[in-house]
Structure 1
Amino acid sequence: MNAKIIFNAPFAASTDPVTGNTTEYHSIEDFIKGCIDEQHFKVKPESYIYSKLPDYNCEECEALPLVNPNELTEVIGYGIRGTAKKYDTSQTPCKEIDSKKISFSIGKAGIFASNTNNKYMPYVLGTDNIDLFVQLAKAGEAVVLHKDIDAAYQIINNGMPETIFRMMVGEKPPVNNADLFVQVNDSFKTLPPNQIKQFFLDKKQQIIKSIESDLIAQPQVEEMPVDRRAEKLDNWQAPISLRNDTLIQSKPYPIDELPEVVRNAILATAEYVQAPVAMAAQCVLASISFLAQGKVNAPKETNREGMPAHLFFLTEGGSGGRKSSCQKLVELPIREHERQQYDEYRKNLEDWNAKSKTVESKEFAQWALDNPRPTDPTSIFSDITIEALTKFYIKGIVKNASLSSDEAGQFFDGHTMKGDRAKSALGAFTKIFDQGYCQRSRASSDDNGSAYDVRLTFNLLGQRVVLIGALNDPILREQGFLPRFILAAPESIAGQRTHTVEFRQKLKNSHNDPRLTKFWNRCRDILKDELPVLLNDSGEVPYFPVMQLSSEAELLELEFYNECEILQGRGKQFEFMQPFASRANELARRLGAVLAYFENKSEIDVEVMQAACAIIRHSLSEWFRYSDIEIADESDSEKLIKYLLTKCKKEKTNRLQRTVAMKGAPLQIRKAKEFDPCLNELIEFNYVRLVTINRSTYIELNPALLK
């Protein structure tokens, strides 16, 4: 593969522990020559290239190429995994004294791919199995790896010339394009490299014959046998309505990915409150964010001190949607703690006031300095201006705050977000979110100053009539305020919340449900923990330990970053949502940090990171549905699917060649820049999918539309 990327600073280095000589690498090309055995996909001898373990030799570790997702022929980095070894160099021969499992990347972020630079390759493969990827790469096959095999297919479909046949290979079939899938089992692992090529050449011919015979034997949808229809329907999900007024229907919230205690608390809350699971989930995660934000930082590649782990949550719910009940049940131990602190504050304030009256007026100023007036410990606010919040931060009255309200209109339509004040407020909120920092500088004010290491969690819930204006406000979107929010817009369950005698009895004992008590007890334990401090020249300062990613979680996070980056490309799902998609990786790290802390883990492991990525992926899909919600007329996507349906029924088929479909589409979408976004939306909402037949791309309709 071509490898000519030059870095201004060395992106990798290797120091020989015997001689002390250091070799720095400024280009991928030089790094490959010095450290990578390209033929065998492994690290060369005497390569001390892991920056976290610079005295461990990475020799013989697997070295998997990372390529530019927009140019699959360009290697931009390597993923290294295996066992690194440390030697006692004072002995001859050197004696191994330690070894560690490692998994890290060097160079730029990319996707795993191999041998994709051959213009004359007979086919290219996509897989979701890393061991299979390594086997195929070593056999000289052109192959792309992604944890989602359908995504792997999309990568090769978008990144390879149309003249190259595309196939998928793995153990579990994909959701889409199942007729291009080659299923393998353990016996495949025993095939020698020289037989693997013939294996796939044979499979390629079988697939082509199968597709051609299918086109000949099944040209008319109406004539398809019943069992064949059922088979095809099994591979499709039900279409999601394209009407903008029904886009409020949401995909299921991925609670199955969450840790057990968190997941059970969500299910119990949704059950007792009779609220959508997504609403309960947002409230639970917001509570965890508030508890963890003052205890740990999230990992950040460019800052060893990390970044604030606090998060912003926004949830839509109709009037009577049980928003308030969700918050009250979930936040029970936090509210109890707040009440205890407030009661203590009131008592101390009464004592202070009583004592202050006994002090002579001429001595009062000094007495007040020695005996500061107690401050209100309230840290959860339902309605507060940015000016008041900043004042509290600067005066040290509040360090960890939460703006938690079941009436989002109080915030979006309040004093802070009106007129010229809105831009200033947005800047202040984003600075708090990004840096945990705020500043106030006003003429003739004694409230001026700066505050560092402050934290803020948002948990806003509101009705659609309130949110719709805010969520489509270009200032809130483009200035980056809304892209910092994790969004959920679940479908209302009104009309399904009937009671039985048994449910009423169970409801009386809800506070003894172990699903809730386990969650609440962990919340109470965290509330008792004191924030660690460090001593420096200016006295005690907060110390936020960084919740680091495990090696496996780091690779998973890398895949998620690349996934979101690729989907921002032209014609892709998030092309017009770049402010949202580009922040997904950061939000996943933050959510991973607070989940890991709540679970009392020492690092963000792969299970926690997988849960965090699933939640942020769901939020992106919610923002995607809201992106054009203000349009009420028939969309171009609706016009396109109507045309495709009419054309297919007329010709008695379920497929149209893509180029033919674009030429005959409604006039306003006959150019690629208008046609492709509509087609992508139809794919996203399960109306159509793309298949490759005889090197041509076809649009295939969901069989449910043709019944």
Structure 2
Amino acid sequence: MLDYDHPKELITPDAILNECAQLVSFNDAYSSHPLIQRFGSPEQPIYVDNGSEAKPLIMPIYNGQLEHIQSAVLIDGEMVELTIDGENTDRGLAKGFARYGDFDHAKPVIITYGLEAFFKIAQTGYAVALVILPTLCSNHKTELKPYDFEQIQFVINQLSQAGYKQLYLPVKIEQIHLEPFKALEQNTAVRLLCQYLRVGVNQFEFGLSQDESVSEVLAFIDEAIELLSKPTEWGELLPLSQSETVLNPYPIHALPPLAQEAVRAISEHVQSPIAMTAQCVIGAMSHIAQAKVNAPHPFIAHGEPCSLFLLTEGQSGSRKSTSRNLADQAIIRYERKQYEAYRQELEQWKSGQAGLPKKDREAYCAENPPPNDPSTLYSDITLESIAGLFIDGVLNNASIASDEAGQFFGGHTMKADTRNQALGGYAKLFDDGFVERTRSKSNLNGSGRAYDVRLTFNLQGQHEVLAEALKDPVLRGQGFLPRFILTIPENLAGTRLQDAIYRNKNASTDHRLIAYWTRCEYLLDDCPQVKADHELHNGRYVLPMNDEAREIDVAFYNMFEELQGKGKRYEYLQAFASRASQLARRLATVFAYFEGLQWIDAKTLKGACEVVKHSLNEWAMYADIEVKAESDAEKLIKWIAKKCNDQKTDRIAYSNVQTSCPRPMQKNKNLLEMVVEQLIDSNHIKIESIGRTRYVVIHPCLVK
């Protein structure tokens, strides 16, 4: 047995090891050692003092130059003892670290403070250093104490000063946010590796225990180091001031997959902006869905219309008509078949009364009313006319789709004394599916009401024509324009060049459009009704929201309610912002019906919210309000830059931003996320994830 307290001849650490038994992994004595059984095997030789009844494991301790300067005496369940100058033992602080593997200055070194992780990482082939804490073998594990972190920092600095530049410390997910660990990363050369493993699109947390496979641990270390080492590419900083042009790309990803592909296909074939074709496709989906389903309403059991009002600004020659025709092609074909059948019925009706005396003809017409024109798509029709069709029962569902919106806003109805009445009529159609027409006593036959009718608007027009109407306080204040989802696409004029490849393309054979048209045709026919929780209401059923979608709906409503407050972004756009939640629910209903969903899920509602946010940003361009106050985005980036510069780093934890950033973002999660998105879009920051931990990384030019 080694006499650690009185070794007369053993005066060096190497001499102590020479008196120990060296065991290798295939020895029975190796696998049966208490520490190996408890903490796993490093698959490397170990030193054991067989002369002692406890058979302690003797672990060499090295300094930064990898000189063997000390030994640690490890007994299962007891505190670690250390040799001092080879002459006795003490429970003080180690002068170095234990190690396995090939320590190369050009390669990573993994640092750990637990035996189980130390042994497991040793099996991967990575160089691994163990911080010798007194509690390594204790039976009762406690949280790390301040002096433990001091010892960890001592080892990190020891290796750093010896020239090791790639130092990594694995930590558990719940630990990476703790201040002592963050301080290690900020004050030393070490980088934290959050313990997770990604397999495909999934991520798994694990604890570097002896039960983990070597391949998983190796994959974790490889991937985590690769993420930290990956260079970040930055674009040019874009202005944040609200007076500057703000990028507001159309969220094409928000649409159902079939619709997305149709939008891209139409844009390619027509050479029109994505935003314009997206609005056309949404208009077609709204036209189809409004006849079959209702959107959920917080206070009305049978819901509300899912009909949408869409408005697209586009220059002359921006291919508005062609885009809309391709988007509506299935509806146009369907209506053509319906119209042909109508013409045949009309001819039969005319033939049936041909040659009849006047009295018999009147009786025939009374018993056999003429068939109704089945057309539901209109490009130029007044409220008076369409109301008559609804009241007479000729129509239940219709769309006004025109690329000459200027004619609509500048027409007689919108300029005459009846404008306010017309606006109110369109508003009632939108909100309740209700229309009413009251004529003079001399023409009472034209009066009446119609319930549960639907109208979709899909208007397109030039900026010069629309600008005046879009800024009209009556059109805005009465709530007509706030019901519209607006987009202002980029002008592609000058970029729509055609080559041989383009000219060989054929929209009618494009598989993306064929799939989209096929889906539209199926929904236009009497397709099987999707089972829903609610009964049919005049032929329509409500598409409900699931629990997750309801939570998103409430958060979306609250976000835009707060943003209408004094000094907030939509203070002067209250009529528009107050309808954000309603429009999102309607749009989500249209998306869900098109996809054949039985309810509105979180993904579908989130997508609809993105489109509505895009629309509100477009409306803000017409607000004509000069906001001189510092924007939330400017406040946040200044705060992030100061934090990074104070801490001499290029990143801070996203959780730190959430809890400490300037108000009102600190108290409003949704507002913060929107501002963060703006900073990302303008290249001021990036979000990087290490495992499940997110970091805000600032543009290099903003760091001193």
SS at match of 2:599: coil
1:622 matched residue in structure 2: 618
Structure 1 position 439 matched with structure 2 position 424: no
Structure 2 counterpart of 1:188, from 173, 183, 186: 173
Structure 1 position 281 matched with structure 2 position 278: yes
Structure 1 position 484 matched with structure 2 position 480: no
Write out aligned runs for 1:533-544 (5 A): 542-544=538-540
Kindly tell me: are residues 541 and 187 of structure 1, through their superposed partners in 2, closer, same or farther at Cα, counting changes over 3 Å? Answer: closer
Structure 2 counterpart of 1:557, from 553, 556, 559: 553
1:238 matched residue in structure 2: 238
Aligned-partner Cα distance in 1 for 2:620–2:678: 10
Kindly tell me: are residues 530 and 687 of structure 1, through their superposed partners in 2, closer, same or farther at Cα, counting changes over 3 Å? Answer: closer
Q: Counterpart amino acid of 2:256?
A: P
Kindly tell me: are residues 186 and 554 of structure 1, through their superposed partners in 2, closer, same or farther at Cα, counting changes over 3 Å? Answer: farther
Shift of 1:299: 0.6
Write out aligned runs for 1:500-519 (5 A): 500-506=499-505, 509-519=506-516
2:293 matched residue in structure 1: 296
Q: Counterpart amino acid of 1:324?
A: S
Aligned-partner Cα distance in 2 for 1:531–1:364: 41
- Does the Cα contact within 8 Å between 1:270 and 1:276 map onto a contact in 2? yes
1:463 matched residue in structure 2: 462
Q: Counterpart amino acid of 1:577?
A: L
Kindly tell me: are residues 522 and 636 of structure 1, through their superposed partners in 2, closer, same or farther at Cα, counting changes over 3 Å? Answer: closer
Shift of 1:558: 2.1
How big is each residue's C-alpha offset from its partner over 1:44-68, in whole Å with a ceiling of 9 and x where there is no partner?
Answer: xxxxxxxxxxxxxxxxxxxxxxxxx
- Does the Cα contact within 8 Å between 1:250 and 1:489 map onto a contact in 2? no
TM-score of the superposition, structure 2-length normalised? Answer: 0.57
Aligned-partner Cα distance in 2 for 1:569–1:640: 15
Q: Counterpart amino acid of 2:272?
A: A
- Does the Cα contact within 8 Å between 2:242 and 2:627 map onto a contact in 1? no
Q: Counterpart amino acid of 1:416?
A: T
Write out aligned runs for 1:226-375 (5 A): 234=234, 238-239=238-239, 251-375=248-372
Of 543-552 and 312-321, deviating more is 543-552
Aligned-partner Cα distance in 1 for 2:170–2:482: 43
**Unaligned stretches of 5+ in structure 2?**
1-168, 189-230, 531-535, 636-644, 647-673, 686-697
Q: Counterpart amino acid of 1:289?
A: S
Q: Counterpart amino acid of 1:332?
A: Q
2:43 matched residue in structure 1: none
2:599 matched residue in structure 1: 603
- Does the Cα contact within 8 Å between 1:321 and 1:492 map onto a contact in 2? yes
1:396 matched residue in structure 2: 393
Aligned-partner Cα distance in 2 for 1:475–1:587: 21
2:498 matched residue in structure 1: 499
1:448 matched residue in structure 2: 447
How big is each residue's C-alpha offset from its partner over 1:375-434, in whole Å with a ceiling of 9 and x where there is no partner?
Answer: 221111101110101000000111100000011012111122113211101100010100
Q: CA RMSD in A?
A: 4.0
Kindly tell me: are residues 355 and 267 of structure 1, through their superposed partners in 2, closer, same or farther at Cα, counting changes over 3 Å? Answer: same
Kindly tell me: are residues 550 and 376 of structure 1, through their superposed partners in 2, closer, same or farther at Cα, counting changes over 3 Å? Answer: same
SS at match of 1:480: coil
Aligned-partner Cα distance in 2 for 1:453–1:543: 10
TM-score of the superposition, structure 1-length normalised? Answer: 0.57
- Does the Cα contact within 8 Å between 1:683 and 1:689 map onto a contact in 2? no
Structure 1 position 594 matched with structure 2 position 590: yes
SS at match of 1:459: strand
Aligned-partner Cα distance in 2 for 1:706–1:207: 15
Shift of 1:280: 0.5
Aligned-partner Cα distance in 1 for 2:485–2:170: 40
- Does the Cα contact within 8 Å between 1:440 and 1:450 map onto a contact in 2? yes
Aligned-partner Cα distance in 1 for 2:677–2:521: 46
2:569 matched residue in structure 1: 573
User: Percent of aligned pairs with the same residue?
Assistant: 42
Aligned-partner Cα distance in 1 for 2:171–2:269: 47
Kindly tell me: are residues 263 and 590 of structure 1, through their superposed partners in 2, closer, same or farther at Cα, counting changes over 3 Å? Answer: same
Aligned-partner Cα distance in 2 for 1:626–1:602: 38
Write out aligned runs for 1:172-211 (5 A): 187-189=172-174, 199-200=178-179
- Does the Cα contact within 8 Å between 1:573 and 1:681 map onto a contact in 2? no
Q: Counterpart amino acid of 2:490?
A: E
Aligned-partner Cα distance in 2 for 1:434–1:704: 50
SS at match of 1:483: helix
1:40 matched residue in structure 2: none
SS at match of 2:173: helix
Of 382-391 and 350-359, deviating more is 350-359
- Does the Cα contact within 8 Å between 1:592 and 1:612 map onto a contact in 2? yes
Aligned-partner Cα distance in 1 for 2:185–2:523: 60
SS at match of 2:549: helix
